[in-house]
Amino acid sequence: MSESIKYVLGEESIPKYWYNLVADLPLAPPPALHPGTLQPLGPDDLAPLFPMALIQQEVSTEREIEIPGPVREVYRQWRPTPLYRARRLEKALDTPARIYYKYEGVSPAGSHKPNTAVAQAFYNREAGIRRLVTETGAGQWGSSLAFAGALFGLEVEVYMVRVSYDQKPYRRALMETYGARCVASPSNETQSGRAILAQRPDHPGSLGIAISEAVEMAAQRADTNYSLGSVLNHVLLHQTVIGQEAMAQMEMADDYPDVIVGCTGGGSNFAGLAFPFLGAQLRGGKKARFVAIEPEACPSLTRGKYAYDFGDTAHLTPLTKMHTLGSTFTPPGFHAGGLRYHGMAPLISHIRELELIEARAYHQVACFEAGVQFARAEGIIPAPEANHAVKGAIDEALRCKREGVSQSILFNLCGHGHFDMQAYSQFHSGKLTDQSYEESELAMALAGLPSVPA
């Protein structure tokens, strides 16, 4: 039996800087726009929601941004995360490919999300903020911010998408254990939530609606800020610790990835792994293919329109140019709740337009098949979101087998699935089904995109 190999770095290898891809891009991404004036957004427009340090990171063109000491201190608890070579999976697939995965499930909340939650909590506390309000899909982000809030003495309030609130009750218990308050969204606590419930009392919720509720609450109080777990430039920036570590670990393995794979909901874990490698390539280094994997039931990168749109359903946020299914689109209630977002990070959308990355969509049953095959070979149970990356990596390894080429594949195993076992139970009993949206609903949501003069 071939044993899997683990590449471990010491604490001194925790990155000292976050890497900003914008510094190396051949073309700057389009600016975010004020929803009223349609003029490029200024820093003051975001000040009611975010601390100035994060707003500056949002618009920064510096290549490296120093990680504050207290944030690195917290990272030490689980970083550097391990990189594995999946020898047993390679054997099971009988592939000549070398498969590596970076495992972010070792964080306290079980995913990559604390990488940015800790940084955001730190900067908010430095700015004198006492309370953070946010949304969550499957609960990974809510529990990560709840954890970070507990460390930095901040109150945390989480609007959790209704369908996930019902599917994953233990994520709510985790948030409450860290001291956060968790409310099912749409709720009766906000105008945005009440408006949705008036139209449809049994609404399953969406990330777009939960964002509206959180932004509405945060805008009302001076001691309260809003916090977002994906999509924004500063969130993608914080996740680049993943790729920087992976570069050092691939060097330990004396290898370099030909293909880099990640799942994309808002795009942050994919960016975290891919951007440091992509940056090196843009500066004249080795080339790789970068493959983003999304759910067939919410395919913003592969089926969405590249256009200015709102980040939320009630249209309280700025307009950003991104691949979008339309802010009023409600994706079906599949299990990878972290991938149920109508839009995509503007930075990921921009580099897709520049053809620096590829995108692919899979249905959920095929992703769970891949996740179960991975678990039986490697022992780790992936989150339903991460199953998309596993499926992407397996398909690349099978392509190598067909073509008879020995390539190196690196993917991000962005979280474990220990709170998602209901979905695995459904899969094992044959009750998990692929879900599709109505084409007419997508067409309607796209027809409602705001009109922005070019």
Ligand X SMILES: *Cc1c(COP(=O)(O)O)cnc(C)c1O
Q: What does the binding site for ligand X look like in residue numbers (CB under 6 A)?
A: 111, 113, 140-141, 230, 263-269, 338-339, 383, 385-386, 414-415
Minimum CB separation of residue 69 from ligand X in Å reads: 26
List CB contacts of 69: < 8 A, sequence separation 6 or more. none
C-beta of 227 vs 407, nearer to ligand X: 227
C-beta of 41 vs 345, nearer to ligand X: 345
C-beta of 362 vs 400, nearer to ligand X: 362
C-beta of 233 vs 269, nearer to ligand X: 269
Minimum CB separation of residue 234 from ligand X in Å reads: 13
Minimum CB separation of residue 160 from ligand X in Å reads: 13
C-beta of 98 vs 321, nearer to ligand X: 321
Minimum CB separation of residue 138 from ligand X in Å reads: 6
C-beta of 304 vs 415, nearer to ligand X: 415
Minimum CB separation of residue 113 from ligand X in Å reads: 5
Minimum CB separation of residue 300 from ligand X in Å reads: 10
